[in-house]
Amino acid sequence: MFNEFQNPRLAEALRRAYGEQLEISTFAPELAAHIILENDRFENRLLQGLRYWTTGNVIITASVGNVSRIQIHNPPSSGILVIVEGFVVRAAVGTDYVVTRDGALAGTPTANLATDTRIPPSAASRKVASLNRIDNSLPALSGEIMSRRTVVAGQDAIFNFLEGGPEQPLVLVPNTVCEVINNTQNSALTALGFGYERQARPEELVLT
């Protein structure tokens, strides 16, 4: 039987959230916490090492003959897992929007923004380790298509991977990307991405 007290990450969350001096070794194996830690109150998730983020509102200008895209990037050697929970796109024209994985790496990176103000500011902004990148230099989408929406002008194309399927959140290991693309050439893209990240153990990053 899984015992939350034996998981260092969750045991530390218990200590910090409830102020108890827990000695893990003193608990009998049949004892467990009376909360479901992974489903606990949102404000306690930072104590579990989960850092929620958003890209903020990002605008990618139109480019003749090319498509516009915003990319979520887990940097090389970051030591974290980045979970992309979705995108919201504001459609200026009726068009096709596509989410892909493992596409061509886009341009200059910008750190994603922490949604919890307990994360201290860095250079006047509260940032996390994951990045977003923008690009309008490719004539077509790249990477494997994971999701698609077609909308009319003025509507939001919402990719909410929290609803339980058929689409699922995208889990990015270090040096991987996913992105949302305006699949109509010579069209701007206004969008934001959201999700969370956490430190990864070495055994989580390599499946055997």
State pLDDT tens for residues 64-100: 999 999 999 999 999 999 999 999 998 877 789 999 9
pTM for this model (two decimals): 0.80
Q: Hey, how many other C-beta atoms are within 10 angstroms of the C-beta on 127?
A: 19
State pLDDT tens for residues 13-28: 767 766 655 555 555 5
Q: In the predicted model, what is the mean pLDDT of residues 138-153?
A: 92
What are the extents of the domains in the chain? 4-48, 51-202
pLDDT-derived band of residue 38, with 50, 70 and 90 as boundaries? low
Bridge partners for 199 per DSSP: 80
Residue 1 has pLDDT above 60, yes or no: no
Q: How far apart are CA 72 and CA 98, in angstroms?
A: 14
Residue 191 has pLDDT above 70, yes or no: yes
CATH code for the structural domain at 51-202:
2.60.120
Residue with tokens 């096709």: 96
